[in-house]
C-alpha cells in the first residue's frame, strides 16, 4: 500500500519512502526486505528515478567535501581558517560535477541553481558538520540553509 502511494505521489510520499528505506539499509534483519522494496520502487517510479539519481550525486558530492574537511582538520592538522577556505574550494569543484539545476533530498520541490560558497560554514565539533546555503532557482525565492553531517545516524 505504501509503495502504491509513493508511486502516485513521488515528490512527496515517494521521496520520503525512498530515503527512509535507503537510510535503514544498514540494519541486517530488514536489509533484504528494504532492498526489495527499493528495487521495486525504482523499477516503477518512471522519471522520478532521474531525480533520485541527481540527489544521490549531490549527497555524494557533499560527502566528499565533508570527508576532505575531516581529513584536512584532523589528519593534515591544517589551521581551522584554512580548512574553511579549502572546503569552499572543494564545494566549487564538486559543483562542477553536478547538473545545472538540481534538488536536495530535504525538499525535492525546491530547485537549486548553485551554492552560496562564501556562506559555507564549517563547525568545529568532532564530525565537522557543514552548514550549506543553496540558492533557490526561483527568482525571489529564499535560500535553502541545511546542515550536512557525514557519518552519524541522525534519526
Assign residue 151 the CATH number of its domain: 3.30.1010.10
Q: Are residues 120 and 81 in the same domain?
A: yes
Closest CA to 68 of 79, 53, 83: 83
pLDDT tens digit sequence for 16-42? 999 999 989 988 999 999 999 999 999
Q: Are residues 97 and 139 in the same domain?
A: yes
Q: Residues 126-152: what's their mean pLDDT?
A: 90
User: Cα Rg for the chain, rounded, in angstroms?
Assistant: 17
Q: Are residues 17 and 90 in the same domain?
A: no
Q: Are residues 73 and 119 in the same domain?
A: yes
Q: Are residues 5 and 57 in the same domain?
A: no
Q: Are residues 122 and 97 in the same domain?
A: yes
Q: Are residues 76 and 144 in the same domain?
A: yes
Report the percentage of the chain scoring pLDDT > 70: 97
pLDDT at residue 127 in the model? 83
pLDDT tens digit sequence for 66-85? 999 999 988 998 998 899 99
Q: Are residues 8 and 66 in the same domain?
A: no
Q: Are residues 65 and 106 in the same domain?
A: yes
The residue segments making up the domain with residue 8 are 1-46
Q: Are residues 63 and 31 in the same domain?
A: no
Between the alpha carbon of residue 89 and those of residues 28, 35, 86, 95, the distances in Å are 38, 36, 5, 10
pLDDT at residue 151 in the model? 75
Closest CA to 148 of 107, 103, 105: 105
The confidence band for 114, taking pLDDT boundaries of 50, 70 and 90, is very high
Domain total for the chain?
Answer: 2
The confidence band for 153, taking pLDDT boundaries of 50, 70 and 90, is low
116 or 126, greater pLDDT: 116
The answer to whether 108 and 15 have CB atoms below 8 angstroms apart is yes
DSSP state string for the chain: -HHHHHHHSIIIIIHHHHHHHHHTTT-GGGHHHHHHHHHHHHHHSTTHHHHHHHHHHHHHHHHHHHHHHHIIIIIS---HHHHHHHHHHHHHHHHTTS-SSEEETTEEEEEEEEE-GGG-EE--STT--EEEEEEESSTTPPPEEEEE--SS---
Q: Are residues 39 and 58 in the same domain?
A: no
Q: Are residues 89 and 153 in the same domain?
A: yes
Task: Dig out the grid coordinates for 79 from the structure.
Answer: 589551521
Amino acid at each position: 500500500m505504501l509503495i502504491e502511494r509513493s508511486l502516485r505521489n513521488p515528490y512527496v510520499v515517494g521521496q520520503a519512502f525512498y530515503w527512509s528505506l535507503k537510510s535503514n539499509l544498514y540494519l541486517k534483519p530488514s536489509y533484504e526486505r528494504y532492498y526489495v522494496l527499493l528495487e521495486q520502487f525504482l523499477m516503477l517510479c518512471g522519471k522520478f528515478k532521474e531525480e533520485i539519481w541527481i540527489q544521490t550525486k549531490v549527497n555524494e558530492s557533499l560527502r566528499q567535501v565533508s570527508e576532505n574537511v575531516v581529513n584536512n582538520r584532523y589528519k593534515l592538522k591544517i589551521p581551522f581558517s584554512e580548512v574553511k577556505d579549502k572546503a569552499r574550494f572543494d564545494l566549487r569543484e564538486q559543483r562542477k560535477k553536478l547538473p545545472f539545476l538540481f534538488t536536495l533530498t530535504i525538499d525535492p520541490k525546491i530547485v537549486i541553481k548553485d551554492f552560496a560558497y562564501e556562506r559555507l560554514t564549517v563547525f568545529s565539533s568532532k564530525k565537522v558538520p557543514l552548514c550549506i546555503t543553496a540558492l533557490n532557482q526561483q527568482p525571489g525565492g529564499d535560500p535553502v540553509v541545511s546542515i550536512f553531517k557525514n557519518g552519524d545516524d541522525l534519526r
